[in-house]
Amino acid sequence: MLLYILLCLEIAVRIAIEVRERRLTQLHGGVFAVLRLIPLVNDIVPLPENSCDPPTSLFVEKHEEGHNALHHAVLRNLMKVAFLLVAVWFLAAMVVRWNASFFEAVLWLHLVAIPFKYFFNWYCWTQEYEADAYAFKEVGQQKAKAAMHELAECEIPYSKLFASIYREHPTVALRSQRILKKVVGSRQ
Ligand SMILES: [Zn+2]
């Protein structure tokens, strides 16, 4: 019973987040917005981040170099493996110890994983900021600013709250705020 109450609560919270997002951005969420409301389905719905491919600037190259130099991919993957192991243990414990059906165990896992996903996004964001700081040091303020404009032009805008729940990348507004100490938008 508790499981289904929590799932209804999840749907209600996600509807509220979605409505808030539509109001703030004035953009339609499309079919993905509906899919994001459905438990389990929302675990696999992709979130489009860009409307076009941003050009590869020196800043972007140095940003990627920063990820490599700081071993970000390895750390991210280690964290994923750790989460996966805990998830398998959790499923096994639910089924064997608490006699839950497999389907119910998966639903519980889905709920329990929500704060972990949030934490994972936060961790990815800190990596992105670190890679930005690395690139900023390499190319300087002028090029960083120009690159932020280019990135902003291709980015689909999301609010900070929405991005923190659904995105592994911070928005360009947050990134430019962090390195340039001001929000950079598209030039239009
Ligand atoms: Zn990155």
Q: Is residue 80 part of a domain?
A: yes
Q: Is residue 160 part of a domain?
A: yes
Count of domains for the chain: 1
Kindly give, in sequence order, each residue whose CB lies less than 8 Å from that of residue 161, ignoring residues fewer than 6 positions away. Answer: 17, 20
Q: Is residue 22 part of a domain?
A: no
Q: What is the pLDDT of residues 52-108, one digit of tens each?
A: 998 899 999 999 999 999 999 999 999 999 999 999 999 999 999 999 999 999 999
Cα 41 to ligand 1 centre (Å):
26
Cα 126 to ligand 1 centre (Å):
10
Q: What is the pLDDT of residues 74-86, one digit of tens each?
A: 999 999 999 999 9
Cα 21 to ligand 1 centre (Å):
24
Q: Is residue 163 part of a domain?
A: yes
Quote the tokens at residue 33: 């917005």
Domain that holds residue 127: 50-180
Cα–Cα nearest to 146, from 50, 53, 60, 65: 60
Q: Is residue 27 part of a domain?
A: no
Distance CA 129, CA 122 (A): 11
> What is the rounded (10 degree) CA torsion for 109, 110, 111, 115?
100
Cα 127 to ligand 1 centre (Å):
7
Quote the tokens at residue 79: 């964290």
Answer yes or no: pTM beyond 0.75. yes
Cα 60 to ligand 1 centre (Å):
8
8 Å CB contact between 171 and 158: yes
Q: Count Cβ atoms within 10 A of the Cβ of residue 177 and give its class: 0-12 exposed, 13-18 middle, 19 or more buried.
A: middle
Q: Is residue 136 part of a domain?
A: yes
